[in-house]
């Protein structure tokens, strides 16, 4: 079963209709090779379904996020989306200069999580962790 199939199952289980617009937005996100923003989702989906409007895409994205079908990655006013992974854990690095989003392996957060637990007796929720900074390409352009 694919993440797309998982998402369709979640839509059904939560009593949401499988409209052509919702399925189109879902497939656009699923087929994207990167984290995708709403404007890009809208442009790609509108090509296949010309009557789709931006408000429908926004409502669909909010529904998908609220029922756990997609993950929203954002810092500030920049937000991108991807299908939620089965284990729910996915971490990101966001470049403030070029706005690219990079995946971050969970093992980088293990010592951070342990430090928060040991030093502060605090259990962090790091299932969808994002950190902002400057990527290598942008740093090299600054020097």
Domains held by the chain: number: 2
Note down the domain range covering 52. Answer: 3-83
Same domain, 78 and 117: no
Q: What is the dihedral angle through the alpha carbons of 110, 3, 57, 42, rounded to the nearest 10 degrees?
A: 90
Q: What percent of the chain has pLDDT over 70?
A: 94
Q: What is the CATH number of the domain that holds 64?
A: 1.10.10.10
| 60 lies in the same domain as 14 | yes
Mean pLDDT of 52-66: 96
User: Is there a single domain that holds both residue 124 and residue 58?
Assistant: no
> Is there a single domain that holds both residue 51 and residue 98?
no
11 pLDDT band, cuts 50/70/90, is very high
User: Which tops the pLDDT comparison, 44 or 82?
Assistant: 44
| CATH number of the domain bearing residue 121 | 3.30.1490.190
What is the average pLDDT across 34-44? Answer: 92
What is the pLDDT, as a whole number, of residue 89?
65
Alpha carbon distances (Å) from 136 to 38, 86, 97, 105: 26, 30, 11, 17
Domain end residue (candidates: 42, 65, 83): 83
- Same domain (yes/no): 57, 20: yes
Residues 96, 40 share a domain: no
**Which among 35, 67, 60, 66 is positioned nearest to 45, based on CA atoms?**
60
Are 11 and 71 found together in one domain?
A: yes
Q: How far apart are the first and last CA of the chain?
A: 47
> What's the mean per-residue pLDDT of the chain?
88
Max avg pLDDT among 5-9, 10-14, 105-109: 10-14
* pLDDT at residue 67 tops 80: yes
Region 86-115: mean pLDDT is 82
């Amino acid at each position: 079963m694919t993440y797309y199939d998982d998402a369709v199952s979640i839509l059904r289980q939560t009593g949401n209709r499988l409209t052509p617009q919702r399925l189109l937005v879902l497939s656009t996100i699923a087929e994207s090779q990167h984290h995708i923003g709403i404007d890009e989702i809208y442009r790609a989906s509108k090509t296949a379904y010309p009557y789709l409007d931006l408000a429908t895409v926004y409502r669909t994205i909010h529904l998908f996020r609220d029922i756990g079908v997609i993950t929203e990655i954002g810092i500030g006013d920049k937000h991108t989306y991807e299908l939620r992974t089965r284990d729910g854990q996915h971490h990101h690095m966001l470049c403030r200069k070029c706005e690219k989003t990079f995946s971050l392996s969970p093992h980088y957060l293990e010592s951070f999580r342990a430090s928060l637990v040991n030093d502060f007796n605090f259990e962090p929720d790091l299932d969808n962790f994002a950190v902002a900074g400057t990527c290598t390409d942008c740093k090299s352009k600054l020097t």
